[in-house]
Structure 1
Amino acid sequence: MTRVLLLLALLAAPMAHGEAPSRVRRLALLVGVNDGGPGRARLRYAASDAQSFARVLGELGGVTPADRVMLLETGRAGLLEGFTRLKALAESARASGAHRVEVLLYYSGHSDDEGLLLQGERMDYGELRRALGTLPADVRIAVLDSCASGAFARRKGGSPRPAFLVDSGVQVKGQAILTSSSEDEASQESDRLGGSFFTHHLVSGLRGAADVTRDGRVTLNEAYQFAFNETLARTERTQGGAQHPAYDIEMAGTGDLVMTDLRATSAGLVLTEALEGRLYVRDESGALVVELMKTAGRPAELGLAPGRYRVRRELGGGMSEASLVLTEGKSTPLAAAHFSSVLSEATVSRGGPAGAEAEVSAVGPARRRVPFNASLVPGVSFNALVAGEAPVENAFALGVVNDGTALHGAALGLGANVYGEEVRGLSAAVGMNMAGGKTRGVQASVGLNISGGALNGMQAAVGANWAGGSVEVGQLAAGVNVAMGSVSGVQGSAGVNVAAGDFRGAQATAGVNVTRGAFRGLQLASGINMTQKGFHGAQVAAGVNWAGGALSGVQVSSGFNRAQGLSGLQLGLLNVGGDVTGAQVGLVNIGGVVKGGQVGLLNVAKEVHGVPLGLLSFVKEGQRHVEFWSSDIQLTNVGVKLGSQYVYSTLVAGIGPDDRFQRFSLGLGVGVHLPLSSRFWVDVDTVASGVHSREEPFQGETLLAQARVMAGFQIFSHFAVFAGPTYNAYFAFSPEGPRSITTMKVSEHKLGSDGTVQHWPGLQLGLRI
Structure 2
Amino acid sequence: GAADVSHDGRVTLGEAYQYAFTETLARTEASRGGPQHASYDFQLAGKGDLVMTDLRATSASLLLPAELTGRLFVRDAQGHLVAEVHKLPAQPIELGLPPGRYRVTLDDNRRLSETTIDLGAGKQTSLSTGRLVALVPASGTNKGDLAPAPAADAASTGTPLLATSAGPSPVPPRFALNLSLFPPLDTNGGIASDNAVVFGLFARSTRLSGFALTLGHYVDGDAHGFQMAGVGAISKGDLSGLRITGAVDYAEGTLKGMQVSGGIAAAGGGRGAQIAGAANYVRDEFTGLQIAGAANVAQGDVHGLQMAGAMNVSRQLTGGQLSVLNVAGDVSGAQVGVVNIGRRVRGTQIGVVNIADSMQGASIGLITFVRDGIHALDISSSEVGGTVLGAVLGNRYVYTRLGIGVLAGGNDLPGGRTVVGSAAESSHYLIQWGMGGHRIINQRWFVDAEVVATQYHRSSGWQQEKAITGSLRVLAGVRLAGSFSLVFGPTYNTSVGWDGTDLVTGSGFAESVSRSGQTVVRMYPGLTVGLRI
TM-score under structure 1 normalisation? Answer: 0.50
Matches within 5 A, 1:145-224: none
Counterpart of 1:688 in structure 2 is: 453
1:54 lines up with 2:83 in the alignment: yes
Q: Which has the higher strand share?
A: 2
Q: C-alpha distance in 2, partners of 1:469/1:768?
A: 64
Structure 2 distance, partners of 1:635, 1:747, is 19
1:286 aligns with 2:112: yes
1:313 corresponds to which of 124, 141, 148: 141
> Which structure 2 residues correspond to residues 363-442 of structure 1 after superposition, within 5 A?
422-429=173-180, 433=186, 436-442=191-197
In the TM superposition, residue 501 of structure 1 has moved relative to its aligned partner by 2.1
Change (3 A) 1:48 1:629: farther
Q: Which residue of 2 aligns with 1:171?
A: none
Confirm or deny that 1:71 pairs with 2:100. Answer: no
2:397 and 2:139 map into 1 onto residues whose CA distance is: 68
Equivalent-residue separation in structure 2 for 1:676 and 1:470 (angstroms): 61
Indicate yes or no: 2:412 matched with 1:676.
no
The answer on 1:488 being equivalent to 2:488 is no
Give the structure 2 partner of residue 728 of structure 1: 493
Where 1:22 maps in the other structure, the secondary structure is: coil
Return the match for 2:42 from 8, 22, 31: 22
Between structures 1 and 2, the one with greater helix share = 1
Q: Given the alignment, which residue of 231, 236, 240 partners 1:479?
A: 231
Deviating more after overlay: 484-493 vs 706-715: 484-493
Give runs of aligned pairs for residues 58-137 of structure 1, distance below 5 A.
70-71=95-96, 107=98, 109=100
Change (3 A) 1:338 1:23: closer
For the pair 1:613 / 2:354, whether they are aligned, the reply is no
1:353-364 matched pairs, under 5 angstroms: none
| TM superposition shift of 1:717 | 3.9
Judge conservation of contact 2:489–2:528 (CA < 8 Å) in 1. yes
Residue 132 of structure 2 corresponds to which residue in structure 1?
Answer: none
Q: For residues 221-275 of structure 1, what are the alpha-carbon distances to aligned partners after superposition, in whole Å with 9 as ceiling and x for unaligned?
A: xxxxxxxxxxxxxxxxxxxxxxxxxxxxxxxxxxxxxxxxxxxxxxxxxxxxxxx
Residues 506-539 of structure 1: per-residue CA shift (max 9 Å, x gap): 1110101122x22321110010111122221111
Indicate conservation of the 8 Å contact 2:180/2:203, yes or no. Answer: no
Gaps of 5+ in 1: 1-19, 35-43, 60-67, 73-106, 111-188, 196-280, 289-308, 326-336, 347-361, 363-420
Query: Distance between the aligned counterparts of 2:438 and 2:80, measured in 1?
Result: 52
Instruction: Please give the per-residue CA displacement for 1:335-394, whole angstroms capped at 9, x wherever unaligned.
Output: xx9999x98658xxxxxxxxxxxxxxx7xxxxxxxxxxxxxxxxxxxxxxxxxxxxxxxx
CA distance in structure 2 between the partners assigned to 1:621 and 1:50 by the alignment: 52
Q: What's 1:566 paired with?
A: 317
Tell me, in whole angstroms, the C-alpha distance in 2 between the residues paired with 1:658 and 1:511.
59
Distance 1:313 1:440, change over 3 A: farther
Q: Shift of the alpha carbon at 1:48?
A: 9.8
8 Å CA contact retained: 2:407, 2:430: no
CA contact (8 A) 1:634 1:654 kept: no
Q: CA deviation at 1:47?
A: 7.3
Q: Which residue of 2 aligns with 1:759?
A: 523
Shift of 1:640: 1.2
Distance 1:50 1:541, change over 3 A: farther
Match of 2:29 in 1: none
Question: 1:717, 1:512 → 2: CA distance?
Answer: 55
Give 1:695 shift: 5.2
Deviation, 1:753, is 1.1
Following the alignment from structure 1 to structure 2, what is the Cα–Cα distance between the partners of residues 716 and 593? 31
- Residue 282 of structure 1: how far off its partner (Å): 11
Shift of the alpha carbon at 1:731? 1.3
| Amino acid paired to 1:448 | F
1:454 to 207, 224, 227: 207
Q: Distance in 2 between matches of 1:621 and 1:693?
A: 38
**Partner SS state of residue 504, structure 2:** coil
Cα 1:70–1:757 shift into 2, 3 Å? same
Kept in 2, the 8 Å contact 1:31–1:70? The answer is: no
Q: What residue number does 1:742 align with?
A: 506
Cα contact 2:178–2:195 (8 A) shared by 1: no
- TM-score, with normalisation over the residues of structure 2? 0.70
Q: Give the deviation of 1:759 after TM superposition.
A: 1.1
Partner of 1:443: 198
Instruction: Find the counterpart in structure 2 of residue 603 from structure 1.
Output: 354
Change beyond 3 A, Cα 1:26–1:312: farther
Match of 1:501 in 2: 253
Q: Name the CA distance, whole Å, in 2 between partners of 1:51 and 1:675.
A: 61
What is residue 151 of structure 1 aligned with on the other side? none
Structure 2 CA distance for aligned equivalents of residues 615 and 511 of structure 1: 34
Unpaired runs of at least 5, structure 2: 1-39, 45-49, 63-72, 88-92, 115-136, 156-160, 413-425
Determine the C-alpha separation between the residues in 2 that align with 1:644 and 1:50.
54
Q: 1:740 to 1:51 in 2, by over 3 A?
A: farther
1:713 corresponds to: 478
In structure 1, which of residues 584, 590, 614 is the aligned counterpart of residue 335 of structure 2? Answer: 584
| Contact 2:486–2:531 under 8 Å retained in 1 | yes
Instruction: Return the offset for 1:428.
Output: 2.6
Contact 2:300 2:314 in 1 (8 A): yes
Instruction: Compare relative contact order (CA 8 Å, sep 6+) and give the higher one, 1 or 2.
Output: 1
Give distance in 1, aligned partners of 2:154 and 2:176: 43
Q: How does 1:547-558 map to 2 (within 5 A)?
A: 547-558=298-309
- In structure 2, relative to structure 1, the CA distance for the partners of 1:725 and 1:47 (3 Å cut) is farther
Task: For 1:338 and 1:727, locate their aligned partners in 2 and report how far apart those are by CA, in whole Å.
Answer: 83
Taking a change above 3 Å as real, the CA distance of residues 510 and 662 of structure 1, as seen in their structure-2 partners, is same
Residue 129 of structure 1 corresponds to none
How far the C-alpha of 1:22 sits from its partner, in A, is: 3.0
Rg larger in 1 or in 2?
Answer: 1
Alpha-carbon distance between aligned partners in 1 of 2:359 and 2:99, rounded to the nearest angstrom:
39
Q: Distance in 1 between matches of 2:225 and 2:142?
A: 37
Read off the aligned partner of 1:733 and give its amino acid letter.
W
The 1:592–1:494 alpha-carbon spacing in structure 2 relative to 1, beyond 3 Å, is same
Q: 1:563 to 1:26 in 2, by over 3 A?
A: closer
Contact 1:282 1:311 in 2 (8 A): no
Going from structure 1 to structure 2, the CA distance change for 1:566 and 1:657 (only over 3 Å counts) comes to same
Give 2:432's match in structure 1, choosing from 663, 667, 682: 667
Asked if the contact 1:50–1:108 (Cα under 8 Å) also holds between the matched residues in 2, the reply is: no
Distance 1:690 1:27, change over 3 A: closer
Q: Could you tell me how far 1:638 is from its partner in structure 2? A: 1.7
- 3-state SS in 2 of match to 1:313: coil
Q: Report what 2:31 is aligned to.
A: none
1:469 pairs, out of 205, 221, 236, with: 221
Q: 2 CA distance for matches of 1:522 and 1:601?
A: 29
Q: Distance in 2 between matches of 1:583 and 1:742?
A: 39
Q: Distance in 2 between matches of 1:339 and 1:575?
A: 48
Given the superposition, is the C-alpha separation of residues 562 and 49 from structure 1 closer, same or farther in structure 2, using an over 3 Å criterion? farther
Deviations 1:91-129 (A, max 9, x none): xxxxxxxxxxxxxxxx3527xxxxxxxxxxxxxxxxxxx
CA distance in 2, matches of 1:49, 1:26: 30
Query: How many Å apart are 1:490 and its aligned residue?
Result: 2.6
For 1:505 and 1:708, locate their aligned partners in 2 and report how far apart those are by CA, in whole Å: 52
